[in-house]
């Protein structure tokens, strides 16, 4: 038995999430495209952070914390899911949210995710771009301690080794579902940000001796920086699944070609990807993450990096609540 089975955990997530075929988009792209519906994890509109939070809240509870502090962008999906999870398990919630220069602004400060954060009763600290949010979070923890509270700081995107265990679970679901539906996937695509999703999937596949290649489409930063981030977290995550010291050489694939000008700033290809999924499949993507991931997948089809007829799995990591902050784009 690996450490994974002994980690404290709470229950937040509808699982397994379904894998669905996308017939009309498949035809449009000339491939067989499937989608893993992690936008349907259940909590607060769903999304990938819910899986991570099952383990993170387990850890917070075992440490006796009464408050969760986390950080992200103003329109952070992770912050929304953390606020909801905190409400469900009776934690106070403090969110340190960084304004990102260059994003559209009309609904950005009041609609979408941040509207929901407030509804879940979270306390919001808005900080300017460039402020060290993690440092701010730890200062807040110290201040709260003076008032008798014990806070647990959840890192950006919930991406610690413990958080990424949520995606070991997801990797196991994918293996089960592909076996019971007799589909063999050639490649898996996702949007990668704070790296916990990709690292957890890779750790889960490695533990199951599965070599399915995982393509992380960067939503920020360049490919090399992101690859180092995923690799470091993968090494930590492998310890928790009992594979400490196993090499990660060649396992981490990232592509920074679809980032555009930076985090939260979308490109015309992102708008096209969102429109295609909505109009061919009735599926909502988002402009910050899944839109960039799908823009990458579409370009791989058009440029021949995915060959016609391949079986491709896209992980829908959620985020459509963010659409309401980008009204003027659509
Ligand atoms: C956070 C997030 C991601 C990226 O996941 P990481 O584990 O941070 O790499 C992708 N899609 C959505 C919608 C997200 O909120």
- Pocket probe for ligand 1: among 194, 199, 215, the residue whose CB has the most ligand atoms within 8 Å is 194
Distance from residue 282's CA to the centre of ligand 1 (Å): 21
Residue with tokens 């492998």: 238
* Residue percentage of the chain with pLDDT more than 70: 99
Sign of the alpha-carbon dihedral angle for 285, 287, 288, 291: positive
Residue with tokens 């694939």: 253
Domain 49-157 CATH class label: alpha beta
Looking at CATH, the fold of the domain delimited by 3-48+160-329 is given as Rossmann fold (3.40.50)
Burial (Cβ within 10 Å: 0-12, 13-18, ≥19) of residue 159: buried
Q: Give the pLDDT confidence of 123-164 residue by residue, as tens digits.
A: 999 999 889 999 999 999 999 999 999 999 999 999 999 999
Q: Give the pLDDT confidence of 163-220 residue by residue, as tens digits.
A: 999 999 999 999 999 999 999 999 999 999 999 999 999 999 999 999 999 999 999 9
- Pocket probe for ligand 1: among 318, 321, 325, the residue whose CB has the most ligand atoms within 8 Å is 318
Question: 3-state DSSP call for residue 238?
Answer: helix
**Measured from the CA of 76, which atom of ligand 1 is nearest?**
15
On the question of pLDDT at 289 being above 80, the answer is: yes
**Measured from the CA of 289, which atom of ligand 1 is nearest?**
11
What is the pLDDT, as a whole number, of residue 87?
98
Least confident of 14-18, 58-62, 324-328: 324-328
The pLDDT mean for the chain works out to 96
- Pocket probe for ligand 1: among 80, 83, 191, the residue whose CB has the most ligand atoms within 8 Å is 191
What is the pLDDT, as a whole number, of residue 285?
98
**Measured from the CA of 200, which atom of ligand 1 is nearest?**
7
On the question of pLDDT at 277 being above 70, the answer is: yes
The residue nearest atom 1 of ligand 1, judged by CA position, is 157
**Measured from the CA of 192, which atom of ligand 1 is nearest?**
9
Domain ranges of the chain: 3-48+160-329, 49-157
- Pocket probe for ligand 1: among 38, 40, 48, the residue whose CB has the most ligand atoms within 8 Å is 48
Query: Measuring from each residue's beta carbon to the nearest atom of ligand 1, which residues come in under 6 Å?
Result: 47-48, 77-78, 157, 159, 191-198, 286, 289-290, 317-319
pLDDT bucket at 329, cuts 50 / 70 / 90? confident
- The number of residues making up the chain comes to 330
Distance from residue 187's CA to the centre of ligand 1 (Å): 19
Distance from residue 93's CA to the centre of ligand 1 (Å): 20
| pTM reported for the whole predicted model | 0.97
Q: Which strands, in side-by-side order, build the sheet including 214-218? A: 19-21, 32-37, 311-316, 187-192, 214-218, 253-255
Q: Give the pLDDT confidence of 210-265 residue by residue, as tens digits.
A: 999 999 999 999 999 999 999 999 999 999 999 988 888 889 999 999 999 999 89
Q: Judge whether 42 and 24 are in contact, CB under 8 Å.
A: no
| Strand-pair category, 123-127 with 151-154 | unpaired
C-alpha separations of 209 from 47, 89, 175, 180 in Å: 26, 35, 11, 18
Annotation says 26 is catalytic: no
What is the pLDDT, as a whole number, of residue 250?
85
On the question of pLDDT at 103 being above 90, the answer is: no
Sign of the alpha-carbon dihedral angle for 231, 234, 239, 242: negative
Report the Cα–Cα distance between both ends of the chain, in Å, rounded: 49
Distance from residue 318's CA to the centre of ligand 1 (Å): 8
Distance from residue 161's CA to the centre of ligand 1 (Å): 15
CA separation for the pair 314, 91 (Å, rounded): 33
The residue nearest atom 15 of ligand 1, judged by CA position, is 77
pLDDT bucket at 118, cuts 50 / 70 / 90? very high
Distance from residue 209's CA to the centre of ligand 1 (Å): 25
Same fold for the pair 3-48+160-329 and 49-157: yes
Residue 178 — φ and ψ, nearest 5°? -70, -30
Which distant-in-sequence residues (6+ apart) come within 8 Å of 146 by Cβ?
none
On the question of pLDDT at 58 being above 60, the answer is: yes
CA separation for the pair 249, 312 (Å, rounded): 23
76, 159, 164, 237: the active-site residue: 76
Distance from residue 146's CA to the centre of ligand 1 (Å): 33
What is the pLDDT, as a whole number, of residue 2?
74
Instruction: Give buried/exposed letters for 282-298 (b at 16+ CB in 10 A, else e).
Output: ebbbbbbbbbbbbbbbb
* Chain centroid, CA 147 distance in Å: 33
CA separation for the pair 95, 69 (Å, rounded): 6
On the question of pLDDT at 1 being above 60, the answer is: no
Question: 3-state DSSP call for residue 13?
Answer: coil
Q: Judge whether 255 and 218 are in contact, CB under 8 Å.
A: yes
The residue nearest atom 8 of ligand 1, judged by CA position, is 194
What is the pLDDT, as a whole number, of residue 145?
98
């Amino acid at each position: 038995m690996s450490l994974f089975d002994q980690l404290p955990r709470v229950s937040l997530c509808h699982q397994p999430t379904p894998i669905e075929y996308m017939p009309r988009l498949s035809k449009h792209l000339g491939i067989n495209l499937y989608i893993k519906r992690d936008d349907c994890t259940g909590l607060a509109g769903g999304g990938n952070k819910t899986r991570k939070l099952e383990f993170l809240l387990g850890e917070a509870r075992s440490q006796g914390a009464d408050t969760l502090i986390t950080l992200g962008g103003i329109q952070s999906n992770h912050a929304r899911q953390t606020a909801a999870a905190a409400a469900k398990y009776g934690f106070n919630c403090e969110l340190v949210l960084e304004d990102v220069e260059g994003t559209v602004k009309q609904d950005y400060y009041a609609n979408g995710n941040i509207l929901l954060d407030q509804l879940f009763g979270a306390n919001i600290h808005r900080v300017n771009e460039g402020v060290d949010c993690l440092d701010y979070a730890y200062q807040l923890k110290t201040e709260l301690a003076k008032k008798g509270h014990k806070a647990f700081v959840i890192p950006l995107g919930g991406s610690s080794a413990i958080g990424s265990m949520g995606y070991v679970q997801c990797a196991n679901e994918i293996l089960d579902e592909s076996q019971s539906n007799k589909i063999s996937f050639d490649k898996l695509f996702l949007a990668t940000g704070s790296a916990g999703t990709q690292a957890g999937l890779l750790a889960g596949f490695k533990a199951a001796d599965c070599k399915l290649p995982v393509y992380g489409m960067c939503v920020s930063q360049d490919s090399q920086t992101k690859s180092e981030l995923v690799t470091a977290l993968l090494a930590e995550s492998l310890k928790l699944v009992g594979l400490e010291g196993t090499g990660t050489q060649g396992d981490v694939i990232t592509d920074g070609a679809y980032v555009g000008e930076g985090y939260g700033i979308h490109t015309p290809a992102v708008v096209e990807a969102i429109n295609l999924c909505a109009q061919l499949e009735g599926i909502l993507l988002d402009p910050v993450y899944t839109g960039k991931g799908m823009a990458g997948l579409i370009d791989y089809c058009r440029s021949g990096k995915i060959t016609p007829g391949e079986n491709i799995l896209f992980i829908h990591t959620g985020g459509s609540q963010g659409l309401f902050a980008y009204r003027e784009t659509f």
